[in-house]
Structure 1
Amino acid sequence: MSDSEWITELINDTDTTMSEKQRKILEAAIDTFSEKGYAGSSTSEIAKKAGVAEGTIFRHYKTKKDLLLSIVTPTIARFAAPFFIKTFTKEVFENEYEHYEDFLRVIAKNRLEFVRKHFPILKIFIQEIAFHDELREPFQQLFTEHVYQKFKKIIEHFQEKGEIIDLPPETIMRMSASSIIGYILPRFLLFPEKEWDDDKEIDQLVEFILYGLSGKR
């Protein structure tokens, strides 16, 4: 799916009441914010890319921040929430795993493919989450309601089997997630031009996490 195709799909799924000009502004804003970041983008640039006058943007949104918060941020939240639930909880947490290694491998590949497909809009989320409660709070709630308990249950299961050392599940969850994120962010954000062997990297990632959690030396 190309960038324009998934943006069109996103807009159609999110708000069917938008005018054609609003849709063009939204598409241009997502594209520009993703490419240059919020601080590095200008409303004149967004307007030019959308094919509208800059005044058209300000008739709908008083400032550039208002554009981010009123359109892009809610769109990201509404877009990512159902996808997060569907592709993360359903495809990852509703399966049974023989070993914690199997679970780690599935979760790493699942998140890798999710980011690969939706990176432009997720890049905005990564760039702006620290600065806007409106963007951060829905994901905190989403994680608490749909991910935390399922993740914790899996960890406790493999602790009972003796595969994972006796640390608080929250600590193991944080260590596992941060290791996966620590691969995905450089993969797409810092060094996207590098030739990555994702299967090999995931194998090494899983081995690294397991070595730290197994208690073996």
Structure 2
Amino acid sequence: MEQQEKDWLIELLDITEKELTPKQAKIVQAAIEVFSEKGFAAASTNEIAKRAGVAEGTIFRHYKTKKDLLISIVLPVIYKFAVPFLAEKFLNEIFQKENLDTMDGLLRKLIKNRYEFVKNNVPLIKILLQEIAYHSEIQETFKQVFVEKVMPRYKMAVEHFRKTENLAAFPAETMLRLTISTILGFLVTRFIILPDYTWDDEKEIEYTIQFIRNGLKGND
């Protein structure tokens, strides 16, 4: 197994906090590869089983349906992607460390943190992006994580920076939408749409920060 493939599985195990049997780990690994390459609809449990080196019936001993296997992979990824705003350590750094005591500092830490996650887990992100439009379970989890968990913490950060910076009078929800869509656009373009382009990643991160910051700046 190549190192990048190991990273996917390690991330998934870390997300789910479940101990998988060796055969189940092989099934999950194979499913990630096949779903990423072909999409859920075109993937077959027979192909997943062959790639995992197990009998097809073994899959159904662990997962009732192919969709159950997909959901077991995708839903935890949503939580993992949102981890920075769910982690107390991350929020404490926003409010306490000098280098994060600006909106730029928050954006820089957030983008670099998620850059590394996406870089190490491209197949998982591809599956999430491919399937979110077709499965209500994925949509509901995405909405729950960002509305109930990320939004309140982002509002805290916005109110914190309103006291010291000239931010636009946009609702916090609008600021989060603009921030997430820009960061996702950068990461998806960088790692999925144009992964082989000669990007200068450090410059692109700074350009992204500048773009978001200027968009959120209030009128002088």
- Asked if structure 1 preserves the Cα contact closer than 8 Å seen for 2:85 and 2:154, the reply is no
Tell me the residue number matched to 1:73. 71
Question: Normalised by the size of structure 2, how large is the TM-score?
Answer: 0.81
In structure 1, runs of 5+ residues without a counterpart are: none
Q: Among residues 32, 35, 47, which one is paired with 1:33 in the alignment?
A: 35
Q: Among residues 97, 122, 126, which one is paired with 1:123 in the alignment?
A: 126
Whole-Å separation in 1 of the counterparts to 2:203 and 2:7: 31
**In the TM superposition, what is the alpha-carbon distance from 1:201 to its structure 2 partner?**
0.3
Tell me the residue number matched to 1:2. 4
Q: How does 1:1-217 map to 2 (within 5 A)?
A: 1-7=3-9, 10-11=12-13, 14-16=17-19, 19-57=21-59, 66-67=65-66, 69-78=67-76, 80-81=78-79, 84-85=82-83, 89-90=87-88, 92-95=90-93, 96=95, 97-215=100-218
- Asked if structure 2 preserves the Cα contact closer than 8 Å seen for 1:87 and 1:110, the reply is no
Whole-Å separation in 1 of the counterparts to 2:191 and 2:113: 15
- Asked if structure 2 preserves the Cα contact closer than 8 Å seen for 1:34 and 1:123, the reply is yes
Residues 112/83 of structure 1: CA separation in 2 closer, same or farther (3 Å cut): closer
Deviates further, 150-159 or 108-117? 150-159
Whole-Å separation in 2 of the counterparts to 1:43 and 1:184: 30
Aligned partner letter, 2:167: I
**In the TM superposition, what is the alpha-carbon distance from 1:34 to its structure 2 partner?**
1.3
**In the TM superposition, what is the alpha-carbon distance from 1:169 to its structure 2 partner?**
1.5
- Asked if structure 1 preserves the Cα contact closer than 8 Å seen for 2:31 and 2:48, the reply is yes
**In the TM superposition, what is the alpha-carbon distance from 1:158 to its structure 2 partner?**
2.2
- Asked if structure 1 preserves the Cα contact closer than 8 Å seen for 2:39 and 2:130, the reply is yes
Question: Normalised by the size of structure 1, how large is the TM-score?
Answer: 0.82
- Asked if structure 2 preserves the Cα contact closer than 8 Å seen for 1:92 and 1:110, the reply is no
Whole-Å separation in 2 of the counterparts to 1:84 and 1:162: 25
Aligned partner letter, 1:121: L
- Identity, in percent, stands at 40
Residues 201/79 of structure 1: CA separation in 2 closer, same or farther (3 Å cut): closer
Residues 36/98 of structure 1: CA separation in 2 closer, same or farther (3 Å cut): same
Number of residue pairs matched by the alignment: 212
In structure 2, runs of 5+ residues without a counterpart are: none
Aligned partner letter, 1:51: G
Residues 8/167 of structure 1: CA separation in 2 closer, same or farther (3 Å cut): closer
Whole-Å separation in 2 of the counterparts to 1:114 and 1:90: 18
- Asked if structure 2 preserves the Cα contact closer than 8 Å seen for 1:26 and 1:72, the reply is no
For each residue in 1:11-52, what CA deviation from the matched residue of structure 2 results, as whole angstroms up to 9, or x when unmatched?
485433x55443322221111111222133233321221123
Aligned partner letter, 1:197: D
